[in-house]
Structure 1
Amino acid sequence: MSIGDLNRLRWFQLVAEECSFTRAAARLGVAQSTLSHSIKQLESQMGIRLLTRTTRNVAPTAAGVRLLQTLSPRLTEIDEEIAALSAFRDKPSGSIRLTLSDHALDRVVWPKLKAVLRDYPDINVELILDSTFRNIVEEGFDAGVRLGESVEKDMIAVRIGPDWRLIAVAAPAYLAVRGTPMHPKELVGHACINMRHESAGGLYAWEFEKDGQELRVRVAGQLAFNNSYAMIDAAVSGYGIAYVPHDIVEREMASGALVQMLDDWSPFFDGYFLYYPSRRQNLPAFKVIVDALRLRDGQKS
């Protein structure tokens, strides 16, 4: 097999995984026309159609699915072996892709990474913000960041952040008109700012706990976001009650722009963990990232 054939196979894999020539071309840094022509050459060479193309979607054919299932683990092995060769260089190098939430990026991951990445100019890091639970193996990520309770059992998990909790907050002007709920069940009668979790099947049901009693409340309101910071801004603007991480709303509470309620019902969750398949742990560049993010005794973040 020539180098050109291998590249076309890699490009096919990316298009099939992204289900989009546009997104795949953006990730590869090539023109969409170049990518499309390369896939057509591969299909012509093999004598079979690998992808079905419509104006709205791209999907692998049955033959394409079979090729992808055969191809992906082998290309992954090749990439990992090539990356492992960087151990023979003076400094670790390579590309690391992580999937994580906006809150995890802002409060845990980026503050730690920006302190060390200047020392490793040959390590490239791609951080993809997403509120869904991605399959990091199938989607080509080296690792993901989730709360401890959500990590799959077959993954290696490294704690990178302390426990934290969600708290209910609203603007004083809103509470002056609508009143302050004293029990989570009273939220049903209020305008609430929802959080959408696509992987959880829709809008997040607010979780509360007190004295061993657990409650999940499905709230309603005019607005729903998949970004905690947008929820805070909406709450400050008086659109209702938001349920957001306590550590990103401290400034608004200190200034009086937001008021907390239901404090005794707001439980702590397991902090963030970096999770990844075992085969990643021996890559030098990945070791640098894990060591930078690891939560050590005495650290608060």
Structure 2
Amino acid sequence: MIENSELSELAAFAAVATHRSFRKAAIERGTSASAVSHAVRNLEARVGVRLLHRTTRNVSLTDAGQMLFASLDPALSNIRMAVDGLNRWRDTPFGTVRINVPNTIAPFVFGDTIEMLLKENPGLRVEIVATDQRVDIVEEGFDAGIRLGERLSQDMVAVRIRSNLRFAVVGSPAYFEKHGTPSTPYELNEHVCIRYAFPGGTLLQWEFQQKNGEFIHVEVDGPLTVDSQELMVDSAARGIGLAYVWEQRAESFLRDGRLLRCLEDWCPQEENIFLYFPSRKHQPAGLRAVIEALKA
């Protein structure tokens, strides 16, 4: 009969084998990399067989490790499905759901939802990691991710959760008084613009839609580049230049007159937001609760 400690060691080994990384396995299991490494060493000592090749950069399976993982992975999947099946006997879902979301849209996705979700599901924990860096949710141990209307790999299931985000070009009254107001996106090269840089250093292109439906992309220029939409809005309100941000970010500034819009007819209409997750037959109850809350 397998004891709890042995099962924990097997689960730790399976996580390392899946991700080929002690760090990523630790993220999935909600523990430290050293704890995962210790569990795998105990397992190897107990069975008397080396299961992993370890270097400073890579982790790979030995032949024995490959054989064990091939048998272990489906067995652990069946155990997870069996435990998750118990959720139907509970009043509320339980456990931790890890979600990755772009930092630029995180407040709009969760702002009106997260309080009620946690209140209605006291056994549920939600861990949100907001970053504009592209993330492989499976490799990084996330249950789901959130993106704008982008193409996803075929092994992912996408659920539309919101469709009310739209970009806006904004500037201060003082800026427009000094520099004038562009009437088309093609005039932006004559204006001072605040640029947005993603974590990898790629600059955001300003996207506009013509009356015939075709999209155009404009590479703007200006002395200030930031990685925060809040800072873009604040800088635009101070008259530094024009900013291209989600209109909800600038809503309070537009309402009190600190910012004005331009090129509104050129800004694309609503952008769909999708929650996506790996295709699986049995979906954890906690993730189902998150999906339903975000859809609502």
The alignment's TM-score, normalised by the length of structure 1, stands at 0.77
More helix by share: 1
SS of structure 2 residue aligned to 1:202:
coil
- Partner residue, 2:189: 188
Match of 1:47 in 2: 50
Structure 1 or 2, whichever has the larger Rg, is 2
Distance in 2 between the 1:80 and 1:110 partners?
31
- Partners of 2:275 and 2:117 lie apart in 1 by 17
**CA contact under 8 A between 1:281 and 1:287: conserved in structure 2?**
no
**1:150/1:202 CA distance change after superposition, 3 Å:** same
- Point out where structure 2 has 5 or more consecutive residues left out of the alignment: none
1:289 aligns with 2:287: no
Q: Distance in 2 between matches of 1:123 and 1:158?
A: 21
Deviates more, 1:232-241 or 1:211-220: 232-241
Contact 1:207 1:217 in 2 (8 A): yes
CA contact (8 A) 1:234 1:240 kept: yes
Measured in 1, the distance between the counterparts of 2:75 and 2:191 equals: 54
Contact 1:43 1:50 in 2 (8 A): no
Alignment correspondent of 1:60: 59
- Distance in 1, Cα, partners of 2:175 & 2:20: 43
Letter of the structure 1 residue corresponding to residue 54 of structure 2: L
Does the 8 Å contact 2:27/2:140 carry over to 1? no
Q: CA deviation at 1:110?
A: 3.5
* Structure 2 CA distance for partners of 1:30 and 1:267, relative to 1, 3 Å: closer
TM-score, structure 2 normalization: 0.78
Alignment-mate amino acid for residue 228 of structure 2: N
Q: Does 1:99 pair with 2:117? A: no
What SS is found at the alignment partner of 1:181?
A: coil
Which position in structure 2 is the counterpart of 1:202? 202
Residues 1:282 and 1:179: Cα distance change in structure 2 (over 3 Å): same
CA RMSD of aligned residues (A): 3.5
Structure-2 residue corresponding to 1:298: none
Aligned to 1:204, the other structure's residue is in SS state: coil
Instruction: State the alpha-carbon separation in 1 of the partners of residues 192 and 144 from structure 2.
Output: 37
Alpha-carbon shift at residue 111 of structure 1 (Å): 1.2
Q: Please state whether the residue corresponding to 1:136 is helix, strand or coil.
A: coil
Q: Which deviates further from its counterpart, 172-181 or 107-116? A: 172-181
Cα displacement (A) at 1:243: 0.7
Could you tell me how far apart the structure 1 residues matched to 2:37 and 2:87 are? Answer: 32
Instruction: Check the 8 A contact 1:193/1:223 in 2, yes or no.
Output: yes
For residue 252 of structure 1, give the secondary structure of its aligned residue in structure 2: helix
Unaligned runs of 5+ in 1: 296-301
Q: Tell me the matched-pair count.
A: 288
Deviations 1:205-226 (A, max 9, x none): 1111121242111223334344
